[in-house]
Amino acid sequence: MPETPGPPPAPRLAVIGGSGFYEFLDAPRSVEVSTPYGDPSAPVAVGAIAGTPVAFLPRHGRRHEFPPHRVNYRANVWALRFLGVRRILAPCAVGSLQPDLGPGALVVPDQLVDRTAGRVQTFMDTGAVHVGFADPYCPALRRSLADADEKIVDTATMVVIEGPRFSTRAESLWYAAQGWSLVNMTGHPEAVLARELAMCYAAIALVTDRDAGISAEESVTQTDVFAEFARNIDRLRALLLDVVSALPDERTDCGCDTALDGMRPPFDLP
């Protein structure tokens, strides 16, 4: 009598990104997940890349219905952890704050500045639990992304603003004067929530525009941002396919999995 096949293996890796990434999974299935923090942006798509189980979650929803300040970041990250995910790759669109970074550049940031306001940005709602965040991104995942293409810019500081509006020229000039390179609306609290669940997380940023402070003649428009991202989606998708295919099955000694050691968070890890 033939054996009944067991459940498919749990995905240990996830991509949080835009809807253009649905197509890079083989045989995706939709998985509904309920979390203590509400519903994630959409059901999680679980499929495979080169035989490796991978999950995908559209950050803004299937139809881009959630603006940056309305994304349920806690539910998104919790849902992935619940499904077995331990590493997250996070492609995102960014504006450039430096003249030498033009549209189409790919950047792997190593630092983050939070300029958001009003977002729920922690799972630690009670007790004294202070997770280290000096280095916001997993060093092992960062290295895998940075080594994937010699044209990728390795290291940059990304400032995350509340949105959904773009920056004024004065704000943009101030960010640039601090030495920051990128401006974005979704990188926080996504990164810190992953750290609080002892998950590896790294961003790969696609520059879609030069921010308003670079040139007195230029300003950012949504049309231009969406068009530049669309022009580069195949390139970004191909890069992530290469990175995912080359990643080892298990996490390296990056330290992300021990982020909660010695602490008593107000929840049991899923």
Query: Mind telling me the catalytic residues?
Result: 209, 211
Contact assessment for residue 14 and residue 33, using Cβ atoms and an 8 Å cutoff = no
Dist. CA 31–CA 45, nearest whole Å: 6
Please, where are the H alpha helices in 2-86? 73-82
Phi-psi bin for 27: left (phi > 0), alpha (psi -120 to 50), beta?
left
- 212 alpha-carbon distance from chain centroid: 24
Q: Tell me the Cα Rg of the chain.
A: 18
Dist. CA 108–CA 245, nearest whole Å: 18
Please, where are the H alpha helices in the chain? 73-82, 139-146, 169-177, 187-196, 222-246
